[in-house]
Structure 1
Amino acid sequence: MNLSTQGYLSLILHAHLPYVRHADRDDVMEERWFFEAMTETYLPLLLMFDRLHRDHIPFRITLSLSPPLLAMMEDPLMSERYEAYLMQHIQLSELEQERNQSNPEFAALAAMYTQIWTELYDYYKLCGRQIIAKFRYYQDVGCIDIMTCSATHAFLPFLKHEVSIKAQLMVGVLEYERHFGRPPRGIWLPECAYTAELSPLLQTAGLQYFVVDSHGIEHASPKPSRGLAAPVMTVDGIHAFARDPESSRQVWSSREGYPGDPDYREYYRDIGYDLGWGDAEEWEYIKPYVLSNGARIHTGVKYYRISENEQEKKPYNPVWAQHKAAEHADHFLYCREQQIKSYQSQCDRKPLIVSPYDAELFGHWWYEGPLWIEALFRNPRNQQGTFAFITPEDYLREYPVSEQVDIPFCSWGRNGYAEVWLGQENDWIYRLLHQAEDRLLHTMQHHSTNLWGHTAVAERILNQSIRELMLAQSSDWAFIMDAKTVPTYAAARTEHHLKQFHELNDMIEHRFYDLEHLERMEHHAACLASVHYELFTSSLSSPPPMLLPDAYAMDARSTWRYRKVLMLAWEFPPLVIGGLAKAVFDLSRYLVDQRIEVHVITRSVQGSPSYEQMNGIHVHRVNVLQTTTPIDFMDWVFQLNLAMSDYAVLLMESGHRFDFIHAHDWLVHYTAKDLKDYARTPLIATIHATEYGRNHGIIEHDVQRRIHQMETDLTAIADQVIVCSNAMVSEVQSLFTLPPSKVSMIPNGVEIASFEQNLSEYHHANLRLQYAAPHEKILFYIGRLVYEKGIHILIKALPHVHSSVPNAKLIIAGTGPMKAELEALAARLELTSHVTFTGFIHDDTRNDLLQLADVCVFPSLYEPFGIVALEAMQSGTPVVVSDTGGLAEIIEHGVDGYKALPGHVESLAWHVTEVLLHPDIADNMAVNALRKVEQRYDWKSIAVSTKQVYEGVIMR
């Protein structure tokens, strides 16, 4: 923020349309509302953003994009129809140039429309129809902030059940995340309708602020000392930004405000209404450009300005209009300067003027609106420092605490309350809507046996019934009935969605699933992908375990918030020593995709920050206390745990509340125990390997006994233990005397697309020459160089392989304590020229070598899982592994790889030789292996399984 700035101005545009997509018809007038808004508002705004950004003109705007609008923006059918709409407009404007050859002013305007619509068509195609991505880009670069809205713009105070309001809010949050890759911070409450009951629901949805009408602040209790010059705060800490009435009048009013100026374009004079009255030839000319039933519509070709004499309209002059927009922008900014100066004497902080408008006003109703907005930011007054354009989010960063008041029921509708949405024209809808809410909850409660053992079809039916109810709840239908614009359409839409809602609930009640009818409904309402029946389960008195909402936790008040998990891992990227670091990283980022907030506490690493966000994961790195003299390993582990515990407690004391602690292996045992006792939080422990297994059952040294004891203690205090293979299930149950119900098997996985990306980035032929001659066959191993990995068995097997394949070359990648011993073994066997030790290699090189190899070999003596085998399988390279532990479970012998006897030199050599001598068999196994990886070992499925373990722990 500029310290010399005296105050701030926040321009907020609320972009929303009801869901008017009609899958079976392309001539519905209401569907054109979307096309008109795209042409006159949304695309012109983006083009304006582009111009300002290109010219390095700073701009800050807050924009809300409602879920129904986003659904239509991303819909392929609507995109296809919109392109056709633009093409038809271009065609009409070209015909108009010919028709008006004798009228130069109109011909020039027709040419202007041709140019504008052609530019929009080209721009839309250039964007690949993905205009949501353009809005996201401008948010990501800091030019705009985007707010969410409720699922279908329902008038929230008029919903009957709290859970219905929650669902409307949460779908708005989830749809926002789906499109913009982050949780929303602000929400545009539909019609700015607020009641005190909304405040805690906004908090639990993770929202920080909303916009309220000045009416609500003027009647707040106590009366805010800063008036309308600063936001206020509800008892739940949600900030309310009040609409400024003065700036609203200057823009909203068609008579008092700027849009009514005589130089601006007249909205109501359109050739769709002007032509063809009493002239058959004219009617035949315009007929293709109105509705198929002959109903008159706006074509967008408008030739007149508003004019001073209403009875005699004058031709529109775009140059005059542009100059007038610049004048009005200057006047608007001058007025805001005066307001800010007047506020300074009564405000103890920099005042903020909030100017919210319907986005569709700019361009659609007020044609020059986008030019006016652009002129605001290009105006020299912005350089004088009196005020700055900011967003509500910016203001909260400077002033995070606001004055707490109680805001009464209010809206920005006529007279400040709700008479627009509840009058004699529309009051009949609420009885039907409330009955539908009651029935939905009744279905949940009384048909739970059927639902909770649900089939996928039953789930779809229930989800679609919620979607239909939400579409019926849209405030637009009541508004249209009150305004009497197209009341028949609005009433029909309300009745249509409620009819379909009841048909779907009939299916549930009668257990008769009409799949064809369901698919038809889904096709017609292809929106709100985030709707899920679990959003309503908090209304049940005792919901079954698997019905907890996917993305939310229930606290004592049965409200929702994001799940939060605290991961404890002694290694984490970029520090990668073994497989644990990568496994924790991959699991964490896919849990983030499942809408779980993940915090990882790990050890510090040189060159990495103490805190960062990595792929959506909150990574906290702690320093271990430095000593003047070296300490042994176990003392270092203790010091690491002290540092991790201290940091975690500070994190919790700062306001973080975690639903779970997830500890990875014995090295974080002390921290896991401390935090479980301190926070009384469920503890999940993943045992990646055991000391007993690593040492083949020999526990004789003091360090080994201590590690084994810590593993025993960790599994004892954990609420659930996760292991990565069935072999490990048996191992931990036997070693630590765990009941079967306490152990879950969840395999590790691989990133499905990672190798495909590598193929285009490296020239494999050149890389191959760095490791082997063109005629040599490559055997590849990667992993830690430790005894249990069996690399010494592989080196001893190489001479046996040479007896049949003399050109076999072994590449060993990785580091570890056995490196020198293994190099000496290769030298003793006179294999130095046939074995290459690469040391540590980066992931890209690893991926390439996995693909370059003729066979990947993993001869482990002990292997809890063997993720590197999956990586090899995914690379399309045949594998040979030891028939032990997790490796034995991954590979089906002779189908997708070979399994050799553990520690058996001859068995390993024979299977490697078979792969090299029979490439057809090897290729077939590689194809089967790749298919298995894609079907069974993707991280998304693993994250879902892990989340289910979390939920199961919560329900105990």
Structure 2
Amino acid sequence: MILHVTTELEPLRCEGELAKWVKGVVEKRGGKILLLGADGRYELDGIEVVGAGATPNIPTSDVVERAFLKLFASLAEVPYRLDPREIDSIEGHEWQGALVAYLLALRLRKPFVYSVYTTETERQGSGVVAESIKSIEAFLAREADFVMARRKGALKSLREQYGISREKLFSDPSGNEASTPERSELKILQVSWEYPPHLIGGLGRAVTHISAGLAKLASVYVLTIGLPGRVVDEHRDNLHILRVDPFTLKSTGFVSWVYCFNFLMVAKALSSNLRPHIIHSHDWLTAPASIVLKHLLKTPLIITMHATEYGRSRGSILTPMQRQIHYWEWRACYESWRVIVCSESMKHEVIKAFSLPADKLLILPNGVKLSELDSHTPLRGERDRYALPWEKIVLFAGRHVYDKGVDVLIEAARIILSRRRDVKFVIAGDGPMRFHLMWLASVYGLGEKILFTGRLSDEELYRAYKLADVVVIPSRYEPFGIVALEAMASGKPVVASRVGGLSEVVVDGETGILVPPGDPEALAQAIETLLYDPVLAKKMGATGRRRVEELYRWDKVVRFLEKIYRRVHEEYSVSSWLTLFDSVSASN
């Protein structure tokens, strides 16, 4: 039996000619219909129609974003609505239906047929949306076992634009099945958009250390994106890195780009025949793929919320992008067996933002790999790169965005330098505010006293900590503050804002000084206190190092995380979670 996947079907959902065309094809070929964006079950002239579930009612910017939103919502529902036992092949009608059909065909190990009525080239579309659709159509045509041109114009376009032969045949559906992985040990799938060499902030570094540590205790698979020209899988003992090319499909904007690589992540996981015991997702950027894999593979999902849009926007969720991000953050928390946060502050934020029960959340702080940090000592003459011999070094490291409060530090630097000139402010990192901050320093006449280094490698940053006299973290919003940990582990005193996780990591008066966020006067006074009293600064640095050794080592964090995984897997093993896909064996 053929499963037809479509967004339109006469008379149930009619938005254009496609509804009539699909009905005609189904009447001739027979089968069952999966109708995207619809609820309920129907019978249409003797043919069963299964609604895949309503699309979330949140604003989107264009048809591509809407299509992927519909895809992820549908695939999370299909295992509970569709019995796959009699399905022999899966046919996707037009590109929106074919996206869903392709992933279902991968999961069920069935031939995938791509039915094309018109192409974007034929429709003479132009602009970023049209280019995105063309790339999706080309991808589907390449991946299909068989491409069915339903109209003459489509046939010509497929041949000339995409180089697809009309004679493209089904592959043997019974051959070369991948073997089922052994389940003798715990298998964990980490899903993250950050992983080396693609690192943006603390999230990627956390996933890197967690995965490396867990690989000593379990089999770990990391599903992530690669950089242009560096999309290569890696396999090292129990650690397997699976990468997708996030630019395979052309996107219309940031959100649709996220949807595109999430789609490719689902395809990669299914084609790799992954069968993990636990799926661990990190933040909203991989939530769509993680939720779909949870339901298609019937595997418990855990989410770590490293930050929230609610927190970043101070509770103001207004734009279409914010509403989509907020939706996926809520949906991921709702779908997850457990929600992990990095601090008590983040726990309260997540409960307030998503109305979660407190017993669903677990606090698991980030950590530091002390041996790695200790192995990097400053190179001979390296201090000269940052400051003159007589200058004290005040270091900031982080993204140049509003929430990090670098502008507040520049204001504080202006105050300090009006009273003493033996201080050099070193600002490491990069971000969208970098040129504005450089302009601000120039306007204040501080160009020689504030050094913007750009992004430092981990090794350079670890050495920079040891060269600094004070490390400053003037954030307006900070769920945790990994820089504070690394500075403390380097034996340096910290001046930080009394916000979020920073107020838990830094002990005021013992490992550093906490100040009100957005207050340059208080920030300047705290920095000067430590610069004027090197004995106090050294004492705070030593206390901070001991605190990290006791509470924030990655090996301790990883061991606790493994216990969480095993507890969730035990709970899952005795649960009554059932789907209609249970009739499909694990190897299918």
- Say yes or no: TM over 0.5: yes
The aligned counterpart of 1:786 is 401
1:565 and 2:188 correspond: yes
Secondary structure of 2:272's counterpart equals: helix
TM-score for both structures, normalised by structure 2: 0.65
Secondary structure of 1:662's counterpart equals: strand
1:891 deviates by 0.9
Residue correspondence of structure 1 range 422-501 to structure 2 within 5 A: none
CA–CA distance in 1 between the matches of 2:259 and 2:249? Answer: 13
1:645 and 2:266 correspond: yes
1:806 deviates by 2.0
Further displaced range: 618-627 or 700-709: 618-627
Is this contact kept in 2: 1:571–1:603, CA < 8 A?
Answer: yes
CA–CA distance in 2 between the matches of 1:933 and 1:913? Answer: 25
Which residue identity is paired with 1:821? H
CA–CA distance in 2 between the matches of 1:615 and 1:881? Answer: 40
1:624 deviates by 2.7
5+ unaligned residues in a row in structure 2: which ranges? Answer: 1-180, 572-588
The match for 2:379 among 763, 767, 770 is 763
CA–CA distance in 2 between the matches of 1:640 and 1:619? Answer: 16
The aligned counterpart of 1:896 is 511
Which residue identity is paired with 2:275? R
The aligned counterpart of 1:579 is 202
Is this contact kept in 2: 1:780–1:811, CA < 8 A?
Answer: yes
Secondary structure of 1:700's counterpart equals: coil
Aligned residues: 392
1:636 and 2:252 correspond: no
Residue correspondence of structure 1 range 56-455 to structure 2 within 5 A: none
Query: Over the residues paired in the alignment, what is the CA RMSD in angstroms?
Result: 1.8
The match for 2:225 among 581, 600, 603 is 603
CA–CA distance in 1 between the matches of 2:450 and 2:306? Answer: 30
1:828 deviates by 1.5
CA displacement 1:487-542 (0-9 Å, x = unmatched)? xxxxxxxxxxxxxxxxxxxxxxxxxxxxxxxxxxxxxxxxxxxxxxxxxxxxxxxx
1:608 deviates by 3.2
CA–CA distance in 1 between the matches of 2:560 and 2:504? Answer: 18
CA displacement 1:429-461 (0-9 Å, x = unmatched)? xxxxxxxxxxxxxxxxxxxxxxxxxxxxxxxxx
The aligned counterpart of 2:370 is 752
Secondary structure of 2:222's counterpart equals: strand
CA displacement 1:629-669 (0-9 Å, x = unmatched)? x62001101101000000111122xxx42100000000111
1:697 and 2:285 correspond: no
The aligned counterpart of 1:930 is 545
1:560 deviates by 7.3
Distance 1:578 1:603, change over 3 A: same
1:740 and 2:358 correspond: yes
Is this contact kept in 2: 1:804–1:913, CA < 8 A?
Answer: no
Is this contact kept in 1: 2:231–2:245, CA < 8 A?
Answer: no
Which residue identity is paired with 2:299? T
Secondary structure of 1:561's counterpart equals: coil
- Flag the structure with larger Rg: 1
CA–CA distance in 2 between the matches of 1:792 and 1:616? Answer: 44
Residue correspondence of structure 1 range 511-526 to structure 2 within 5 A: none
1:721 and 2:339 correspond: yes
1:617 and 2:239 correspond: yes
1:753 deviates by 1.1
1:615 deviates by 7.5
5+ unaligned residues in a row in structure 1: which ranges? Answer: 1-554
1:822 and 2:437 correspond: yes
CA–CA distance in 2 between the matches of 1:727 and 1:955? Answer: 29
Is this contact kept in 1: 2:395–2:468, CA < 8 A?
Answer: yes
CA–CA distance in 1 between the matches of 2:537 and 2:418? Answer: 20
Which residue identity is paired with 1:604? G
1:614 deviates by 5.0
CA–CA distance in 1 between the matches of 2:401 and 2:386? Answer: 23
Is this contact kept in 1: 2:218–2:238, CA < 8 A?
Answer: no
CA–CA distance in 1 between the matches of 2:231 and 2:245? Answer: 11
CA–CA distance in 2 between the matches of 1:927 and 1:604? Answer: 39
1:901 deviates by 0.7
Secondary structure of 1:613's counterpart equals: strand
Is this contact kept in 1: 2:188–2:277, CA < 8 A?
Answer: yes
CA displacement 1:903-941 (0-9 Å, x = unmatched)? 111111100000100000110000000000011000111
1:847 deviates by 0.9
Distance 1:685 1:818, change over 3 A: same
1:698 deviates by 2.1
CA displacement 1:27-85 (0-9 Å, x = unmatched)? xxxxxxxxxxxxxxxxxxxxxxxxxxxxxxxxxxxxxxxxxxxxxxxxxxxxxxxxxxx
CA–CA distance in 1 between the matches of 2:206 and 2:198? Answer: 12
Which residue identity is paired with 2:335? I
CA–CA distance in 1 between the matches of 2:504 and 2:535? Answer: 24
Secondary structure of 2:501's counterpart equals: helix
CA–CA distance in 2 between the matches of 1:613 and 1:882? Answer: 41
The aligned counterpart of 2:62 is none
CA–CA distance in 1 between the matches of 2:491 and 2:518? Answer: 26
1:851 deviates by 0.5
| Structure having greater relative contact order (Cα 8 Å, sep ≥ 6) | 2
Distance 1:781 1:615, change over 3 A: farther
1:613 deviates by 2.6
Which residue identity is paired with 2:309? E
Which residue identity is paired with 2:208? F
Is this contact kept in 2: 1:625–1:643, CA < 8 A?
Answer: no
1:789 deviates by 0.4
CA–CA distance in 1 between the matches of 2:418 and 2:402? Answer: 26
Is this contact kept in 2: 1:723–1:745, CA < 8 A?
Answer: yes
1:607 deviates by 4.7
The aligned counterpart of 2:301 is 683
Which residue identity is paired with 1:621? R
Distance 1:615 1:577, change over 3 A: farther
CA–CA distance in 2 between the matches of 1:681 and 1:666? Answer: 18
The aligned counterpart of 1:663 is 281
Judging by fraction of residues, say which structure has more strand: 2
Which residue identity is paired with 1:859? P
CA–CA distance in 1 between the matches of 2:411 and 2:197? Answer: 34
Distance 1:639 1:818, change over 3 A: same
Distance 1:796 1:615, change over 3 A: farther
1:673 deviates by 1.1
The aligned counterpart of 2:458 is 843
Is this contact kept in 2: 1:792–1:822, CA < 8 A?
Answer: yes
1:824 deviates by 1.2
1:590 and 2:208 correspond: no
CA–CA distance in 1 between the matches of 2:375 and 2:453? Answer: 23
1:807 and 2:430 correspond: no
CA displacement 1:236-256 (0-9 Å, x = unmatched)? xxxxxxxxxxxxxxxxxxxxx
CA–CA distance in 2 between the matches of 1:953 and 1:648? Answer: 21
Distance 1:952 1:848, change over 3 A: same
CA–CA distance in 1 between the matches of 2:565 and 2:359? Answer: 14
Which residue identity is paired with 1:792? D
Is this contact kept in 2: 1:589–1:615, CA < 8 A?
Answer: no
Could you tell me the percent identity over the aligned residues? 39
